[in-house]
Amino acid sequence: MMQITIERKSLEQIETGALIVLVFEGRKEVRFGAGDLCDAGEVAGKSLELTLLHRPPGVAATRVLLAGAGKPEKFDSAELRKVVSAAVRHLKSKSVKHIALALEPEHADGEYVSAAVEGAILGDFEPDRYKTDDDSKPVEAFAVVAAGGAADLDQAVARARVLAEAQNFTRGLVNEPANRLTPSKVAEAARQMASEYQLECEVLEREQMQKLGMGALLGVAQGSAEPPALIVIRYRPAQAGSKTHLGLVGKGVTFDAGGISIKPAEGMEKMKYDMAGGAAVLGAMRAIAQLKPAIPVTAFIPCVENMPGSRAQRPGDIVTAMSGKTIEVINTDAEGRLILADALTYARQQGCTHLVDAATLTGAIVVALAHLNVGLFANDEAMRDRVLQAAKAEGERMWLMPLEEDYKEYLKSAFADLANTGGRWGGAVTAAIFLKEFAEETPWVHLDIAGMAYLEESKPFLAKGPTGVPVRTLVRLATEWKD
């Protein structure tokens, strides 16, 4: 585990392998002998520009890393999180194990310190678990130098550690390949996490799902030899009596081959990420258990493998969901909404008053928003605002999408109450409209994270693979909740 400290010494006295110093666009850095580099235009302060100086004059640190932070008027805690993450990734690639960050007094408050610590922990994550040549070089120590900063920054450090470690926990799970992380194995990981953090955990098996009438979930599961699991994790605050009971629902498809409506081979390996919503909900519960919000929070994670086995459901099949609604399965690859339908119904039956789901639900959301925003859909304005505010505070970008009644037209079926697909256009919206039928009148937000759950290539500030979005938003939603 990375050692994290707040240092009150002056910059010159900080002994470390590398001291990260922010450089802003339009502001010249003259310390550490950097004046010439600035004059030559080699250090311009552009966002994520990194320049490593060895044995810089005037400081005890072995190195100084000049880290571009962009235009000062655009700088915020989200930018700091990225800059620190990129700096840490750069330094650890050079086997630097002790790192410090210099924060100006104006930025030495809880929000910025949290973002910096999160950036360090997120930047340290490597998806190299299955590489046998052990050349990973985790960062051992990270210090935030905040000489003139706010008095109590320890709490910000503690919260940031909980959040970022939960996010890395999610990233690790999402990155597990489908042969090693089956629905039963997700359930096992959930049980273990729950017992480690004193949460209640219960796993519904096929038989119980049958008794509950979860025909939509079971229909997806029947194409795989791997049995399904519906994971339920409960957090209860010490003080009962809140009128809110928040339900977090996450799509847990451990592999999405598409079923009989099978996907093309190209890129199919990425469908091991199709449980990212479920893993984010697990990660959020891990943090919630430690940060102890005032409201009860229950997680519901339907886990299945969507395979084209000989028992698989076929296009044209009609299933009956737990809510009683019948669904014509036009395309077996639209499986996420089917398992979420029953999970949402079950969450409502369990007494949740407010719901958020996270799901890698549609390719169409990636067409609409690319890889820059989560698509957010809401049937309730207050709930919408709560989630948008939490997302903004955590630097997880989300964009409001429509959820109007008349989109329901597209889901008409001649033979059942609903079809599971809505045709070519507006695929992310019709998927959300489908879910809305099962959220019914419960205030609910749907997060389509298909474009944000993983990186296809690494970025300077984040390794290739799972991102851990939207763990931080879900946690903040719960911890900031006011009835």
Residues identified as active-site: 263, 337
Cis peptide before 443 (omega within 30 of 0): no
Which strands form 50-54's sheet, in the order they lie side by side? Answer: 3-7, 141-145, 98-102, 18-23, 63-68, 50-54
User: Which residues within the stretch 257-276 sit at the binding site for Zn ion (CB under 5 A)?
Assistant: 274
For residues 161 and 120, is the Cβ–Cβ distance under 8 A? no
CB of 398 to ligand BES, least distance (A): 17
Token couple for 5: 């400290």
Nearby residues of 385 by Cβ (< 8 Å), 6 or more positions away: none
The minimum distance between CB 362 and ligand BES, in angstroms, equals 4
Instruction: Return the structure tokens found at 412.
Output: 């008409």
**How far is Cα 235 from Cα 233, in angstroms, rounded to an integer?**
7
Q: Does 256 bind ligand BES (CB under 6 A)?
A: yes
The pairing of beta strand 318-320 with beta strand 326-328:
antiparallel
Rank residues 98 and 337 by Cβ distance to ligand BES and give the closer one: 337
Q: Which does 363 bind (CB under 5 to 8 A by kind): Zn ion, ligand BES, Mn ion, none?
A: ligand BES
* Smaller CB separation from Zn ion, 449 or 463: 449
Query: Mapping DSSP to helix (H, G, I), strand (E, B) and coil, where does residue 464 land?
Result: coil
Distance of alpha carbon 432 from alpha carbon 445, whole angstroms? 10
When the beta carbons of 255 and 410 are compared against Zn ion, the nearer one is 255
Q: Is 448 in the site for Mn ion (CB under 5 A)?
A: no
Q: Kindly give the pairing relationship between strand 50-54 and strand 297-306.
A: unpaired
State which H helix or E strand residue 175 sits in.
Answer: helix 154-175
Tokens of 113: 């310190």
Instruction: Give the range of 154-162, 188-196, 205-213, 357-365 binding ligand BES by CB under 6 A.
Output: 357-365
- Per DSSP bridges, beta strands 418-419 and 398-400 are unpaired
274 near ligand BES, rule: CB under 6 A: yes
| Residue whose tokens read 């893993």 | 279
Q: Which is nearer to ligand BES, 187 or 339 (CB)?
A: 339
281 φ, ψ (degrees, to nearest 5): -65, -40
Binding residue for ligand BES (CB under 6 A) from 360, 379, 473, 479? 360
Rule CB under 6 A: say whether 254 interacts with ligand BES. no
Per CB under 6 A, does 450 bind ligand BES?
yes
Q: Is 17 in the site for Zn ion (CB under 5 A)?
A: no
Q: Which of 26, 35, 58, 363 is the binder for ligand BES (CB under 6 A)?
A: 363
* Contact letters for Mn ion, residues 320-359 (x by CB under 5 A): -------------x-x------------------------
Please, what is the minimum distance in Å from the beta carbon of residue 435 to ligand BES? 13
Residue entry with tokens 């399965």: 329
Closest contact distance (angstroms) between CB of 391 and ligand BES is: 19
Residue with Cβ nearer ligand BES (48 or 361): 361
Binding site for ligand BES (CB under 6 A): 256, 274, 331, 333-336, 360-364, 421, 427, 450
